[in-house]
Every structure is written in C-alpha cells, then in structure tokens.
Amino acid sequence: MPMLIGYARTSTLEQEAGLEAQVRDLEALGCQRIFSEQTSSVGRRDQLAAALDHLREGDTLVVTKLDRLARSVLHLGEIVGTLAAKEANLRIQALGIDTNTATGKLMLNVLGSVAQFEREMMLERQREGIQKAKADGKYKGRKPTARAKAEQVKELAAEGVGATEIAKRLGIGRASVYRALNA
C-alpha cells in the first residue's frame, strides 16, 4: 500500500518552532512516516537520504515548501531522478504540486526551468558587473596571500621546518610554500 513520507528541514537550531510546524503540517496531510533534521541546505542531509531510501514504488515524498527539499535546480533534478527510478512521487504542499498527476509533473518542470533561467540571468549580471568594475579599475581580484608570506616561508625553512608544517602554520597551501622557496 503506497505511503506518504514526509520530510521537514530547518537550517539552524533557532528555527525549532519552524521544524515543529512543518512536522505538524506533514502529520495533518496524512504522512505515515516523517523524517526531519536541522541542517544547512548545503550540509549533509542524512534524514533526506533516509527518506529517499525509505520510499517504495507508489509512495509519495511530501514537503511543505520547495526550499526545504532542494538546494538548487540541479539538486532538485537529482531528487526527482531518484524518485522516478523508485517510481515514487513528490508533493510540494505550498505550491500545490503533485507529480502523481501530469499537471504536477509539468508544473515541476516549468518551475525548475524558471529557476534555472533566473540563476543564469543572475550569473550573467554578475559577469557584466565584474567586467564593468575591471574596466573602471575597481576589481583587482583576490589579494595574493601566499606571496605576502614569502619571507616567513623562507625563515621557517631556514629553521628546518618542513613544507607541510610551514603551510599549516601560515595558513597557505604546500604548493605555495614550494613556490615561495623556489622564487
């Protein structure tokens, strides 16, 4: 018998009430099993992995909002691919999207396309801004931190400190240590 599997997430411990509210909403929607966690969207998401693993053919993964589930369009695509491979569905309550229907599948694809378009436009604006800043002489890139520490590298090497330890002490890469020594 197909099950509704809920997934709830908040980013920080301060959002305890938000997590509890999501869990209550998922219970009210009839979810028989709910996976929840408090973690950054870019951190490890063990409970999401467990929820996806728990899904069986015909089951539906239910989330209250899209941003609780996926960190990017690419990540959403991966999740949808996992669901498709398991012949499971996705329901995003706040958007009224349910991939158990043809309309729901269409809406999810449209939403993903719009999000991808917005990201590409943002990156294009960012590139244009950087080009303008470079033309105005305001964008010079990152400060070369390792070169600024070249004298310290040579002093430590002269004291017999190894490259790995020099890198660790100065907070630079080992390759930068070798470049400074060979300069």
Residues annotated as catalytic (active site), given as ranges: 11
Query: Which residues lie closer than 8 Å to 153 by C-beta, 6 or more apart?
Result: 166, 170, 172, 176, 177, 180, 181
CA–CA distances in Å: residue 50 to residues 33, 55, 88: 11, 9, 15
Terminal-residue alpha carbon distance, the chain: 69
Phi/psi at 37 (nearest 5 deg)?
-160, 155
